[in-house]
Amino acid sequence: MSFTWPWALAALLAFPALLGYRWWSRRRRRRETVRLPSIALVRAAVPAGSRWRRRIPIWLFATGLVVLATGAARPQASVPVPANSTTIMLAIDSSGSMCSTDVPPNRLTAAQQSAREFVNDQPDGARIGLVTFSSTAGLLVEPTTDKKALIAAIDTLRTARGTAIGLAILTSVDAIAEVNPDVPPTGVDLPAGGGTGDYEPDTIVVLTDGRNTQGVDPTTAAGEAAARRLRVYTIGFGTTQPSAMVCNRDQVSGDAAIFGDGSRFGGGGFGGGRRYQNIDEPTLREVADLTGGEYYQAGDAAELTRVLRDLPSNIVLQKQDMEITVWFALAGALLVLAAVFLAQWWNRTRPRTTT
């Protein structure tokens, strides 16, 4: 629990002040007490329950003061944010290396299958957006709760030249800014102190099998996300094993006929060449660290599915500070009223009857 006005906790001094006043009052009464020959007679005359009854209102009143004083500091509690209050931007690499067959049948097909399972596993009401990136980045689906539209878009992913991880992050930031008014879009000058405070519930997930070759540097883009209090989770996909690059015709865009590494389209599929994993893990880790996210490595389809399945525990159920002053005020007021009521009820004077 945190406090918006911690200095207001000085009001807690009312509690020891009350105890001090009670001690002083009792001591003063003790000095003015009339001495009687037998205290046992007095105790016998006082009802047994009156002694503890006198203490209950005092302690209720004191507890109420403590609760009210704590509420004056405007306490905040971290609470889980419901799924329909978050946006998850899923940015998937569609560079030519996603045709690598080290993850059968190839990386792109495995990534599509895992992404479909990820979408289907989300609770109804969760907003998900889809970004694809190769030499540039594009928003395929704006944040939506329509799972069918998301899955249909995932099925349309096509490989092309280049890898623009930084642009994918910036595109995701702008997509979140469209649905969250607390997130400024990129290109907007942020006020002094930007980047401080609690994280937004919205999150960016970047899945890539390579390193940035086009556009903005990923760490620069991560700085923009961090300034807007957005977490970026990064996933490195693929193995270190050399493998052929094969994509079917439907997985290759028009500009992917020939890549810079000499791979070419032919033989009923996209083939030629063997390549190693080329993930820039240091950069992906730095992007995650800068934004408060986390880096994961997935060497096969099963690991990728597991990573995506575990992400909601960090994303959808993120905690956000919520002010709970009203509950402290309500509890404190009830305690004080209960103390006053009990004191008046137990100390009321009863009319005497004469016979």
Residue type, 75: P
Task: Spell out the residues 6+ positions from residue 247 whose beta carbon is closer than 8 angstroms to its own.
Answer: 98, 99, 106, 108, 159, 269, 270
Q: Which residue's entry shows tokens 């009143």?
A: 61
The answer for 217, left when phi > 0, alpha when psi is -120 to 50, beta otherwise, is beta
What DSSP designation does 351 have? P
139 Cβ neighbours under 8 A, 6+ residues apart: 129, 130, 131, 171, 174, 175
DSSP labels, 144-207? ES-HHHHHHHHTT--BBS---HHHHHHHHHHHHHHH-TTSPPTTSPPPTTTT-SPPPS-EEEEE
Spell out the alpha helix ranges (H) of 46-105: 50-72
Has this prediction a pTM greater than 0.85? no
Domains of the chain in start order, with CATH, are: 2-32+40-78+322-346 (no CATH), 82-184+198-317 (3.40.50.410)
Cα–Cα distance between 204 and 309 in angstroms, integer?
A: 15
Termini Cα distance of the chain: 63
Residue 226 in contact with residue 204, Cβ under 8 Å?
no
DSSP code at position 82: P
Contact 159, 251 (CB under 8 A): yes
* 8-state DSSP, 35: P
Q: Are 167 and 133 in contact (CB under 8 A)?
A: yes
CA quadruple 189, 195, 201, 202: dihedral positive or negative? Answer: positive
User: Distance (Å, rounded) from C-alpha 207 to C-alpha 125?
Assistant: 23
Q: Quick check: 76 and 326 in contact, CB under 8 A?
A: no
Give the pLDDT of the chain (355 residues) as one tens digit per residue.
666 666 666 666 666 776 677 677 767 666 655 555 555 555 555 555 556 666 777 778 778 777 877 777 777 776 655 555 689 999 999 999 999 999 999 999 999 999 999 999 988 888 999 999 999 999 999 999 999 999 999 999 999 999 999 999 999 999 999 999 989 999 888 765 555 667 888 999 999 998 999 999 999 999 999 999 999 999 999 987 878 889 988 899 865 444 434 344 433 344 445 555 578 999 999 999 999 999 999 999 999 999 998 886 656 555 566 677 777 788 878 888 887 887 777 766 555 544 4
Structure tokens at 266: 């032919």
CB 65 within 8 A of CB 338: no
Whether the bond into 105 is cis, omega within 30 of 0: yes
Exposure letters 90-122 (e unless 16+ CB within 10 A, then b)? bbbbbbbbbbbbbbeebbbbbbbebbeebbeeb
CA-based radius of gyration for the chain: 33
Q: Which residues on neighbouring strands pair with residue 78, listed in sequence order? A: 321
Distance in angstroms (rounded) separating the CA atoms of residues 271 and 174:
36
